[in-house]
Amino acid sequence: MTTLRYDVLGIGNAIVDVIARAEDDFLVAQGMHKGTMALIDEARAQAIYAAMGPAVESSGGSAANTIVGVASFGARAAFIGKVKDDELGRTFAHDIRAASVAFDTKPANSGPSTARCYIMVTPDGERTMNTFLGAAQDLKPGDIDESQVANAAVTYLEGYLWDPPQAKEAFVKAAGIAHKAGRRVALTLSDAFCVDRYRAEFLDLIRKGIVDIVFANERELHSLYETADFDSAVKALRGEAKLAVVTRSEKGCVVISKGAVEAVAAEAVEQVADVTGAGDLFAAGFLVGLARGKDHRTAARLGALAAAEVIQHIGARPAVSLKARADESGLIV
């Protein structure tokens, strides 16, 4: 049996997060809708940065956060995403490589600057995001490393990237390579606004089997099937997806397969500091579990463990070794 080079390969937006605490009235004054993600241009990005309070910069992006989580579990991880050859681009590359993630995508020499996301964290831990996608939008089919994809147990894509036509082409290319090599492909729906924009296309990816595993939260699931009834939406997803996981915050998650719908509880947390990255890190734990041959319940418990760790501090990446946390919980990976 051939040993694969990677457990999980992520493809997504390479973004530097700029995180600051903010009161609700700041969001109102800035015309931001709490708890959502808005796409902004470079001028708006500069205006927000000028208005916000002291900030912490860290490499981010939904799929990149997931892949750093995968590496924190001690699993083998790689990432494909586009930055520009500028200061923020070099920061992103350094940070993700320092987290033991293989990152070999060639940076752009021209065009827009490296992407960044301004994240406002309100006292209740909710995050409101404003994203300038910049160079991340320039990911092209030529950036997909066929050998990396073929040698990853799972290739994981973020729905946030499903906007530029060339990025769509890059993902479909990667999915084809993965399936030809007998590997699995996962998609996170990312945000309800992504689902609103691309509902038909996301459903097409699921129905045609281009993706094998779907991650969604409740809001995204309701948007996907345009219903407020959770059970109806779960039933619809079960009829179409090979495997899906719906996260429900403190209510845990539901793992949906053709054979069963299984609820798994959330991990207890002492205090929620910042929910940024909760879904990203849940996906990390679940994917590591799948890649290492664990059953769905154990994979979901690994996801819950990772999500619980990340929401108890500021920032969307683990502050401690998730492998150590898993070992302490008896969830050996």
Does residue 153 lie in a domain region?
yes
| CATH number of the domain encompassing residue 295 | 3.40.1190.20
Does residue 88 lie in a domain region?
yes
Question: Count of domains in the chain?
Answer: 1
Does residue 304 lie in a domain region?
yes
Does residue 120 lie in a domain region?
no
Tell me the per-residue pLDDT of 172-202, one tens digit each, with 9 for 90 and over: 999 999 999 999 999 999 989 899 999 999 9
**182 in the Ramachandran plot: left (φ > 0), alpha (ψ -120 to 50) or beta?**
left
Does residue 56 lie in a domain region?
no
Q: In one letter, which amino acid is 214?
A: V
Of residues 73, 67, 11, 99, the one with CA closest to residue 301 = 73
Contact (Cβ atoms closer than 8 angstroms) between residue 226 and residue 256? no
The mean pLDDT of 131-152, rounded to a whole number, is: 95
The mean pLDDT of 265-278, rounded to a whole number, is: 87
Position 73 scores a pLDDT of 98
The mean pLDDT of 204-222, rounded to a whole number, is: 97
Is 141 buried (19+), middle (13-18) or exposed (0-12) by CB count in 10 A? middle
Three-state secondary structure call for residue 325? helix
The band of 67, judged by pLDDT with boundaries at 50, 70 and 90, is very high
The band of 250, judged by pLDDT with boundaries at 50, 70 and 90, is very high
Q: 127 pLDDT exceeds 60?
A: yes
The mean pLDDT of 61-88, rounded to a whole number, is: 96
Tokens linked to 333? 């990976």
Residue 127: phi and psi, rounded to 5, are -115, 140
Position 333 scores a pLDDT of 76
Does residue 292 lie in a domain region?
yes
32-68 CB burial, b ≥16 within 10 A, e <16: beebebeebeeeebeebeeebeeeeebbbbbbbbbbb
Q: 78 pLDDT exceeds 60?
A: yes
Does residue 158 lie in a domain region?
yes
Contact (Cβ atoms closer than 8 angstroms) between residue 185 and residue 37? no
Contact (Cβ atoms closer than 8 angstroms) between residue 225 and residue 194? no
The mean pLDDT of 40-45, rounded to a whole number, is: 92
Q: 1 pLDDT exceeds 50?
A: no
The band of 2, judged by pLDDT with boundaries at 50, 70 and 90, is low
Does residue 122 lie in a domain region?
no
Three-state secondary structure call for residue 186? strand
pTM: 0.90
The mean pLDDT of 7-16, rounded to a whole number, is: 96
Q: How many percent of the chain have pLDDT more than 90?
A: 84
Q: Tell me the residue range of the domain where 170 lies.
A: 6-12+62-107+137-328
The mean pLDDT of 292-310, rounded to a whole number, is: 96
The mean pLDDT of 265-269, rounded to a whole number, is: 92
Q: For residues 321 and 150, what is the distance between their CA atoms, to the nearest angstrom?
A: 28
